[in-house]
């Protein structure tokens, strides 16, 4: 039986909505202040052109265990969210094309120096906990595909 990735993505969204809402409340104020003006975008990895979202497969390569289900999800996301060779999932004017619940663990867990300065340490700890919960929920759903 062929997996219906649209339904699986909706299931991931529903299962992670509480974690994503809290993560949004923790990070959006800080990110809205620093990300639009940032010249050292972690998504493009300007310092190392061989890296960045487009070169790393959306940073999934560093997280996924490459099970058939995980590879199929990545393929689906690349098509649905128009992954490009130049920018990956990044829209240079708007940020990441992927909703938070579908971003790679690497993207969600990374905090740049500017973010760390503006976030309280308890917020960083809570964000890491939430990101790991989102990761576990996604893995559980993909295990049952």
Where do the structural domains in the chain lie, given as residue ranges? 5-143
Whether pLDDT at 49 is above 60: no
Which whole number is the average pLDDT over 44-58?
A: 62
Q: Which residues contact 137 (CB under 8 A, 6 or more apart)?
A: 12, 15, 16, 19
Q: For residue 102, is pLDDT > 80?
A: yes
pLDDT at 13: 96
pTM given for the model? 0.84
Rounded distance, CA 69 to CA 113, Å? 34
Q: Say yes or no to pLDDT of 30 above 90.
A: no
Report DSSP letters for 9-24, one per residue.
HHHHHHHHHHHHHHHH
Residue 42: how many other CB atoms lie within 10 Å: 20
Q: What angle do CA 97, 89, 110 make, to 5 degrees?
A: 90
pLDDT bracket for residue 128 (50, 70, 90): very high
Q: What is the DSSP letter of 102?
A: G
Mean pLDDT, rounded, for 95-102: 89
What is the H or E stretch that residue 91 is in? strand 90-91
d(CA 111, CA 127): 10
Q: Are 88 and 58 in contact (CB under 8 A)?
A: yes
pLDDT (0 to 100) of residue 12: 96
Model confidence band, residue 40 (pLDDT cutoffs 50, 70, 90): low
Residues in contact with 77: Cβ distance below 8 Å, sequence separation at least 6, in sequence order: 58, 83, 89, 98, 102
pLDDT tens digits for 54-72? 766 776 765 555 678 888 8
> How much is the pLDDT for 51?
65
């Amino acid at each position: 039986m062929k997996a219906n990735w649209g339904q699986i993505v909706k299931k991931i969204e529903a299962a992670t909505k509480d974690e994503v809402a809290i993560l949004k409340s923790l990070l959006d104020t800080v990110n809205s202040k620093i990300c639009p003006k940032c010249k050292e975008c972690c998504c493009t990895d300007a310092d190392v052109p061989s890296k960045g979202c487009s070169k790393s497969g959306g940073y999934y390569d560093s997280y996924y265990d490459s099970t058939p289900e995980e590879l199929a999800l990545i393929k689906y996301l690349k098509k649905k969210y128009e992954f490009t060779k130049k920018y990956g999932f990044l829209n240079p004017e708007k940020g990441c094309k992927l909703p938070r619940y579908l971003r790679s663990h690497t993207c969600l867990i990374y905090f740049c120096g500017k973010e760390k300065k503006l976030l309280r340490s308890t917020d960083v700890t809570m964000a890491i906990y939430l990101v790991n919960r989102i990761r576990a929920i996604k893995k559980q759903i993909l295990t049952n595909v």
